[in-house]
Amino acid sequence: MTTLADLTTPALLVERALLDANLQAMADVLPGTRLRPHVKAFKTTALARRMAALGHTGFTCATVREVEGMAAAGLGQDLLLANEVLDCRRLGAVVAQGARVTVAVDSELTVAAAAAGGVREVVIDVNVGLPRCGVEPEQAGALADLARATGLVVRGVMGYEGHVMLVEDPADKARQVEECMARLLKASADVGGDLVSAGGTGTFDLNTWAGEIQAGSYCLMDTTYARAGAPFAQALTLLATVISANPAGWYVADLGLKALGMDHGNPSIAGAAVWYCADEHTVFSADGAQFEVGQRIRVAPAHVDPTVALHERMHLVDGDEVFESWDVDLRGW
């Protein structure tokens, strides 16, 4: 039997019971194709298969590599690359091999790239308020007409209310989601098609306008979404080892910036106060717990998506027992 003591730290751990509970909780709210899980959050086809087993047969991708990996794993029934791509030849090759691939477009150039690269289906990416990609709602219909004139099938629209995901006040959050979706539905009326795709872990239970929700972080979770009130358990932690203890009262663990997504702030350690993270180190002081050199500790990341992408594999565990080790096989570009 493999145990945590056999793992080299830092290591990604996923509590099996908590993962399964998160997956089931989301499936209860958004069954089947109401959820289009976003694989960028976990980048692991083994985990995607668990979602497919619950009836979620369409997936959202953020990179061409994710599309290729999902298709190669037999999970290419309905893949949406929710990102603009100016060279679609690799996507066209996936389509030629039998997978269904849809790509987001928001300009004449991205429409031309899709057609030239062999992609047959697109969605019109609409700016619903987040200053990122997306055409303005009033321009969506014309872009859809251009895409169809180019020979593409326009499946519908997508928009991401990412700026609303962490709004704390429930009433304000609900109001902003409704405003964002009003923009998307305005575009949808002009574009046509069956798809209205939007949302994420932070708005999955509020966004009743979109036909499908692109949530991903819910399955593993992070401390940022936990603080925002997302009703899912922290299934993913990092196993680390305390490698130094200073008499002045601080400790050092063997993980740092090269193992953690830091854009949402420091990670968390139960019973400790994290001071800072360096390349290979996390420095912390005790805050109710006791620590000693050689001790294995669990560290909860503030942002799960970039954290997972820094690791080659994740380990499915139950307490100290390691049941399976999954390759994080959708990393890269």
| Confidence band, pLDDT 50/70/90 cuts, at residue 264 | very high
Last residue of a domain, one of 219, 250, 265: 219
pTM of this structure: 0.96
| Confidence band, pLDDT 50/70/90 cuts, at residue 1 | confident
For residues 24 and 160, membership in a common domain is answered with yes
- 96 within a domain of the structure (yes/no): yes
pLDDT at 37 over 90: yes
The answer for residues whose C-beta is within 8 angstroms of residue 50's C-beta and 6 or more apart is 19, 20, 23
For residues 183 and 311, membership in a common domain is answered with no
User: What pLDDT, on a 0 to 100 scale, did the predictor assign at position 201?
Assistant: 98
Query: How many C-beta neighbours within 10 Å does residue 325 have?
Result: 16
Q: In this structure, what CATH number is given to the domain that contains residue 6?
A: 2.40.37.20
Q: ∠ at Cα 111 (107, 113), nearest 5°?
A: 115
For residues 34 and 146, membership in a common domain is answered with yes
For residues 126 and 252, membership in a common domain is answered with no
DSSP string, 226-280: HHTT-S----EEEEEEEEEE-TTS-EEES--TTTS--TT---EETTEEEEEE-SS
The answer for residues whose C-beta is within 8 angstroms of residue 20's C-beta and 6 or more apart is 50
Last residue of a domain, one of 171, 190, 219: 219
- What is the average pLDDT score of the chain? 98
For residues 106 and 195, membership in a common domain is answered with yes
Measured CA to CA, the distance from residue 330 to residue 327 in angstroms comes to: 9
pLDDT at 282 over 90: yes
Mean pLDDT across 64-81: 98
Domain count for the chain, please give it.
2
- 225 within a domain of the structure (yes/no): no
Residue in the structure block whose two tokens are 């289906």: 121
User: What pLDDT, on a 0 to 100 scale, did the predictor assign at position 291?
Assistant: 98
Q: For 151-180, what is each residue's pLDDT tens digit? A: 999 999 999 999 999 999 999 999 999 999
| Confidence band, pLDDT 50/70/90 cuts, at residue 16 | very high
Q: In this structure, what CATH number is given to the domain that contains residue 135?
A: 3.20.20.10
For residues 211 and 259, membership in a common domain is answered with no
Mean pLDDT across 70-91: 98
For residues 186 and 127, membership in a common domain is answered with yes
For residues 60 and 73, membership in a common domain is answered with yes
Q: Domain of 118? A: 16-219
Max distance between CA atoms of the chain, in angstroms, equals 72
- 301 within a domain of the structure (yes/no): yes
For residues 103 and 186, membership in a common domain is answered with yes
Q: For 134-144, what is each residue's pLDDT tens digit? A: 999 999 999 99
For residues 313 and 183, membership in a common domain is answered with no
User: What pLDDT, on a 0 to 100 scale, did the predictor assign at position 270?
Assistant: 97
Measured CA to CA, the distance from residue 133 to residue 189 in angstroms comes to: 20
For residues 238 and 156, membership in a common domain is answered with no
Measured CA to CA, the distance from residue 233 to residue 315 in angstroms comes to: 17
- 245 within a domain of the structure (yes/no): yes
Q: For 205-242, what is each residue's pLDDT tens digit? A: 999 999 999 999 999 999 999 999 999 999 999 999 99
- 144 within a domain of the structure (yes/no): yes
For residues 313 and 171, membership in a common domain is answered with no
> Percentage of the chain surpassing pLDDT 70?
100
- 31 within a domain of the structure (yes/no): yes
Q: For 299-315, what is each residue's pLDDT tens digit? A: 999 999 999 999 999 99
Last residue of a domain, one of 172, 187, 219: 219
- 168 within a domain of the structure (yes/no): yes
- 226 within a domain of the structure (yes/no): no
User: What pLDDT, on a 0 to 100 scale, did the predictor assign at position 18?
Assistant: 98
